[in-house]
Structure 1
Amino acid sequence: MTKIGFIGTGKIGQTIAFNTLMGGYVDEAVLYDIIPDLPEKFEHELRHALASRRLKTEVLGTNSLDDVTSCDVVVVTAGKPRKPGMDRRDLFVENAKIIASLAKELPKRNDAIYVMVSNPVDMMASIFMKVSGKYTISTGDQVETMRMRSFIAKKLKVPVNYVNGYVGGEHGDDAVILWSTVTVKDQLVGDKVDKEEVERYVKSIPGDIIKAMGGTTWGPGTIIEEIIRSIVLNENKVMSIAFPHYFEDEIVHISEPVVVGRKIGPSLESLLDEKDRWHLISATKDFYSFYKESLNRIQILA
């Protein structure tokens, strides 16, 4: 029996929940949101869709956090979304308070693996784990990884399944393509693509989509479902998610290729070339510096 809690039923929360439940591998799902009536009506929508697919998943929509109990996986999308022109880090103070509050309550009723989606996603994962003491991952750079693969496939006019490779570091503008992992038909991509063009695309396309569509939903919603599925079904896929790293006096969440199943690991960081490993170290230091500065602006443990 697999039970998943979805904390937040906004656009991205709805998309992730829909994709997950349509996979047919979840026995129970709880949909929580603070907005009155929203999770209950979303429950009905999902029940209609499940009936069409002949799936017997049981669903509960609720405005009470007390109903989120005994979950194996808890997916957190709660918080304010990124708006046009806004950096993910701009959301830190407002969303950190929300995430810290959830981190104090959810573990009381759930011995789960926590999957953070709320932005700035890596820092929110660190906040949640700092407050709760529970193992937390961030969806990290798996979204950037798929954006990178799709763009290279389009430029080279090859099927996207011919392209492999990963993006690492911190999710967002500071993400870095780990070029030593990028292959096309199992051959290093080399000079087949303009690397600067690929990097620009990976970093600029989210903002372009937000301006035109109001948010990035369909891509991340599908990609994040794959992370959930790999955990629940113990698929042990290699993905670029952010998992806990111990750095100086804090736990920080940085993405690198890692095996994702019921347990997270081992990491493939040792297989990267020296330049890519340097980028990950640099990303960790930068993350830590901003994270510590931001922690001083709030009282998350109060």
Structure 2
Amino acid sequence: MSNVVLTLKKLGIDDLVHFDFLDPPAPETLMRALELLNYLGALDDEGEMTELGYQMSELPLDPQLAKLVLISPDYGCSAEIVTIVACMSGGQIFLRPRETAKLADAAKAQFSHHESDHLTLLKAFNEYDQISRDEKRQWCWDNFISERSMISVMNVRRQLIGIMKRLDVPLVSSDIKGDGSFASADVRKALTAGMFMQVAYRQRSGEYLTVKDNQCVSIHPGSVVNNRPEWVIFEEFALTTKNYIRTVTVTNVDWLVELAPHYFDLENFPKCEAKGELEKAYVRVAHANRNKRG
């Protein structure tokens, strides 16, 4: 819904309540979309589109991913982020046939980054990209990678880079050594800056709760993040036999309050264990900022 709202705003349609939708959304759905766009900085407090919002509307992505691409140069890793976003948009990359599940898991482990499914996708793509065209199909077969998904990722990535160039968004890489490596913390911080509304916190009981709406969730068994970190961001909330979060990356509570203080406003925050940790983080970040100024 937020994509639709952003498009209508771009067209100059401000009275969304009385707009003649073919399938009118519930008022709550409309308000939630407006709130999300405001948190992302696409709309100001008066509901007017910002410059960032106009740029976001140019990208054929969900607003959170569009913002992620646009702000990633600030973290020195737009080349990595645009690849990750393309991987998230290109379909299921890792295959796991039931009859060869152990072999598929071992193949995926070659690309595994213990702090991030997103970085695992990036590592797999980077290796695929370096393989010669003649060898790509066999490489995909050997590594239980979907060739069709990888081709889709390549096409999406090419399209996004073209739009970035048109919008004067620089393509910069954290791979300062030029060896295909990347700065994990920079990429994870950029991911947090774009996906701060999709956060889960591990309680003392060991269960994860999504922040703000307090949904009890588990990290999907297919995730490479299996060391039960305290804070994670996630791409997808999936309701199957359990509430699972998929495509997970470890984040830092201090990053959350530094990057999205408007969202983690403690005055309007539900009472929970996460609130106490956020309060401590605000103190640490404020102290660090004072030291920088001093």
Same fold (TM over 0.5): no
Larger Rg: 2
**Structure (1/2) with the larger helix percentage:** 2
Q: When the two structures are superposed, what TM-score results if normalisation uses the length of structure 1?
A: 0.29
Output the TM-score relative to the length of structure 2.
0.30
